[in-house]
């Protein structure tokens, strides 16, 4: 495709200013993966039915497969690549790894971002509030329980509490 048929936008990606040119009918998912080289955001159903492609757009969790790239001019996008800071994993990434909340890992970037948005709005979520917040993300491996536990543990640590996973979470009954 020639440069003439591309559009160019400026936006913020993981806190850094970015300029990117792409075919105007591309979705944000395609722009992130194919034009910005950020493949942490995953392709799922591409129809808004699985949640796998979730990113944060100005802090709100959205389905990047249904957002047009051209609609993101001047906006702030956050992907899973932006979560670790200075080589230090985000508390959610740590607890997801420690508790086995990621198995095949395909849905994990989306779960991490939705959980991050939840904890930014509500540092003390109940199990029910976590379930509701994550109700748009499918995981076919974990059965969700470990994901809920990982979010609860990260929430406690982000509140400054000294929290350890329960023995049952790590080793089962």
Residue 124 CB burial class (10 angstroms; 0-12, 13-18, ≥19): exposed
Distance (Å, whole) CA 85 – CA 67: 27
CB nearer to another protein: pick between 125 and 169: 125
> From the list 36, 67, 147, 154, which residue makes contact with another protein (rule: CB under 8 A)?
67
SS (H, E, C) 44-102: CCCCCCCCCCEEEECCEEEEHHHCEHHHHCCCEEECHHHCCECCECCHHHHHHHHHCCC
Q: Report 10-39 residues binding another protein (CB under 8 A).
A: 23-27, 30
Strand 76-78's sheet: what is its strand order? 16-22, 7-13, 76-78, 54-57, 60-63
Site size for another protein (CB under 8 A): 28
CB nearer to another protein: pick between 49 and 127: 49
Residue 147 CB burial class (10 angstroms; 0-12, 13-18, ≥19): buried
CB nearer to another protein: pick between 141 and 144: 144
Q: Report 90-119 residues binding another protein (CB under 8 A).
A: 114
Question: Closest distance between another protein and the C-beta of residue 107, in Å?
Answer: 12
Q: Report 137-156 residues binding another protein (CB under 8 A).
A: 137
Please report whether residue 170 would count as binding another protein according to CB under 8 A. Answer: no
> From the list 11, 62, 130, 139, which residue makes contact with another protein (rule: CB under 8 A)?
62
Distance (Å, whole) CA 92 – CA 81: 13
CB atoms within 10 A of CB 23: 15
Question: Closest distance between another protein and the C-beta of residue 105, in Å?
Answer: 19
Please report whether residue 68 would count as binding another protein according to CB under 8 A. Answer: yes
* Residues forming the site for another protein (CB under 8 A): 23-27, 30, 43, 46-49, 51, 54, 60-63, 66-68, 70-71, 114, 132-133, 135-137
């Amino acid at each position: 495709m020639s440069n003439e048929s591309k559009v160019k936008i400026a936006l913020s990606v993981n806190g850094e200013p970015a300029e990117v040119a792409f075919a105007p009918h591309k979705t944000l998912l395609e722009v992130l993966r194919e034009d910005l080289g950020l493949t942490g955001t995953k392709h799922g159903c591409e129809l808004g039915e699985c949640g796998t492609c979730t990113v944060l757009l100005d802090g709100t969790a959205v389905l990047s497969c249904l957002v047009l790239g051209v609609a993101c001019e001047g906006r702030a996008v956050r992907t899973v690549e932006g979560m670790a800071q200075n080589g230090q994993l985000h508390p959610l990434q740590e607890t997801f790894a420690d508790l086995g909340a990621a198995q095949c890992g395909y849905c994990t970037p989306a779960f991490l971002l939705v959980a991050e948005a939840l904890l930014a709005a509500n540092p003390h979520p109940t199990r029910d509030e976590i379930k509701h917040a994550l109700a748009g993300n499918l995981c076919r491996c974990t059965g969700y329980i470990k994901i809920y536990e990982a979010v609860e543990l990260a929430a406690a640590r982000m509140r400054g509490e000294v929290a350890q996973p329960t023995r049952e979470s790590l080793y089962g009954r």
